[in-house]
Structure 1
């Protein structure tokens, strides 16, 4: 079980697989706090290896002129914590990456959107070496090695167990949480990862999906009476999906997500950015997998089903 991998008082090393808006921001914060962080990059490798990372943040701008940058996972040192910050559309690369960069007693922290993503990673490294994380972050990469953090930033992490059984709070969760807190990232430790993933979908499904289908920012969706009502209806379908998996999301959570988004700066969602840049969309993990989970348990989610079908069409046409 996970507890056999308990870490003691030594400092953890971190690998960031995917140094974009999310991985770049969190990895930079960890390095700024004094942690040992290694960054995997693709198109930005040459620039970042020479010039480092720049972070503009509502909590204070900073620059890291020197970072440990790599273009290939096979050249990275084995690390205690491997953070997957790639888009789920790149998960087919993980079987060739993770064996090189994960220590024998290390853990993979999956900071990706959607449902079922930990299942894929568990097939590679074993379920006892996997955690999931849900990020509530407004951040964009605006230039090579240049990240603009707009709002929020908190992360909720939980241990993964086979079939998403609740796994409780472990010592390694607490140590990783402490590292992020030291880096200025608000952390929450979740006893039930499946519940946490459904809670994140309450925001992700309506805003990511509708932002693409309706070509709209979050503020535009919230300021129009009809789209705001549609956002809320989609949220309640996510709640119904969670209920089909024996997970209860209270009404107050839906209200909190609506209030958060009302106060949020105008934001172009990650899926909308991917669509505008003609990159593949995370339709399956964010929409298809939750629908499969719910439908296998007898739940009917018609609005999410329609949104999924629309996104599949738009994604196919956009990338052809």
Structure 2
């Protein structure tokens, strides 16, 4: 069994689910919590999952990173709207020559981490997970769960499959989490945006679940058009997304259980939206290369209005 220790910064629907699976598999996991801290410290974590329900009765729970031990792997599973806290949170908890595993949506998130900590390996993780936090210490896993891992290097130069990636992959695989390794993290991030940009954006603007967006011919066509625009954005970074991948994402969403996206949940709960990481950063990267992604800009401007009005 691996002796690597893990810290979970952000024990919500995503960090709580993956962290709980790692602990269930016997790994040493430490969880940073906010509103759920008292409850989880006393009662543990409950995970209802399509893979089987389980409860962790005892959890290493903390309400302050200063109280956490330094860990080999620090999993950043906060919403990107909280990334302004990372300069205070990351340095105390990650070991020298440790790993920061960034399980966040959007583009350029690893660049932010690289400015905060050095002498660490930064790995990006793209999570294909349908999971919600339904109550304090209670996570409901509805579907999927695969993570695509890729190692970060300056300017997102492709790193291939590295030993550190393989070590983390082995830990997650042993915990029953499906892992895919990518040689090119930037390509992986743009491919994730093919799904995240249309469905997160339109779910908020049109007040719709994924199944409703796919059932209407007009919104389905709009989703597809936005996906092709994401592909055009990827080309400005020298990354090519195959047309077949777009069709795969459409088919995958049709088969998915009706799903309220993470951005829609944030909007309904009056939480800040991850507009900049998911929409703003790709727009600015493409714009710097002389390409205007007009549909995505339209979504971005509407979401900025909603976020500022209702936040």
State the TM-score, normalized to the length of structure 2: 0.99
| Whole-angstrom distance in 2 between the partners of 1:127 and 1:64 | 33
Q: Say which of 194, 197, 215 aligns to 1:202.
A: 194
Q: Hey, what's the Cα distance between the residues in 1 that align with 2:215 and 2:119?
A: 43
Partner SS for 2:130: strand
Q: Using the alignment, how far apart are the partners of 1:167 and 1:318 within structure 2?
A: 41
2:98 corresponding residue in structure 1: 106
The aligned runs of 1:107-186 (5 Å cut-off) are 107-126=99-118, 129-186=121-178
Q: Name the CA distance, whole Å, in 2 between partners of 1:159 and 1:229.
A: 34
1:247 corresponds to: 239
Q: Quick one: structure 1 residues 207 and 10, their matched pair in 2 at CA, closer, same or farther if it must change by over 3 Å?
A: closer
CA offsets 1:172-219 (integer angstroms, 9 cap, x no match): 100100110011110011111100000000000000000000000000
C-alpha distance in 1 between matches for 2:57 and 2:159: 40
Cα RMSD (Å): 1.0
Q: Note the C-alpha offset of 1:169.
A: 1.1
Q: Residue 114 of structure 1 aligns to a residue in which SS?
A: coil
In the alignment, what sits opposite 2:5? Answer: 13
- Structure 2 residue corresponding to 1:39, chosen from 26, 31, 36: 31
Deviation beyond 6 Å, 4+ runs, structure 1: none
Correspondence list, 1:1-320, <5 A: 11-126=3-118, 129-319=121-311
Q: Is the 8 A contact 1:127 1:162 kept in 2?
A: no
* CA–CA distance in structure 1, aligned partners of residues 162 and 120 of structure 2: 12
How far apart are the structure 2 equivalents of 1:126 and 1:212? Answer: 37
Paired with 1:299 and 1:167, the residues of 2 have a C-alpha distance of 27
> For 1:243-274, what per-residue CA distance to the aligned partner results, in whole angstroms no more than 9, with x for missing partners?
11110110111011111101110100000000
Judge conservation of contact 2:266–2:272 (CA < 8 Å) in 1.
yes
Within 2, Cα distance between the matches of 1:118 and 1:172?
Answer: 16
| Partners of 1:30 and 1:112 in 2: CA distance | 18
Q: Give how far 1:128 is off.
A: 5.1
Gaps spanning 5+ residues in structure 2: where? none
Equivalent residues, number: 311
**Deviation for aligned residue 1:129:** 2.4
Deviation sequence 1:299-320 (CA, Å, 0-9, x none): 221100000000000000011x
Q: Conserved in 2, the CA contact under 8 Å of 1:127 and 1:161?
A: no
The answer to whether the Cα contact below 8 Å between 1:128 and 1:160 also exists between their aligned partners in 2 is no
Q: Which secondary structure does the structure 2 equivalent of 1:259 belong to?
A: helix
CA–CA separation in structure 1 for the residues paired with 2:110 and 2:168: 18
**Matched residue of 1:229: which SS?**
helix
Task: Name the CA distance, whole Å, in 1 between partners of 2:18 and 2:310.
Answer: 30
